[in-house]
Amino acid sequence: MEETWISLITDVGFPVAVTFYLLHRIETKLNTLIESIVALPEKMR
């Protein structure tokens, strides 16, 4: 049973870590995009 958990963590751990990293990067870029969209009407005046 213990070997099953260890192999599951080693098989799934890396893709999960990469996914969280990419989601963090996308979140940062989305926040920048939202700020730009909110500021757009002010710039158009």
pLDDT at 39: 96
pLDDT at 10: 81
Which tens digit of pLDDT belongs to each residue from 16-32? 989 999 999 999 999 99
pLDDT at 9: 78
Q: What is the pTM of this model?
A: 0.59
Task: Return the higher-pLDDT residue of 23 and 10.
Answer: 23
CA dihedral angle for residue 25, residue 28, residue 30, residue 35, rounded to 10 degrees = -160
Residue 21 Cα to chain centre, angstroms: 5
At position 20, the amino acid (one-letter code) is F
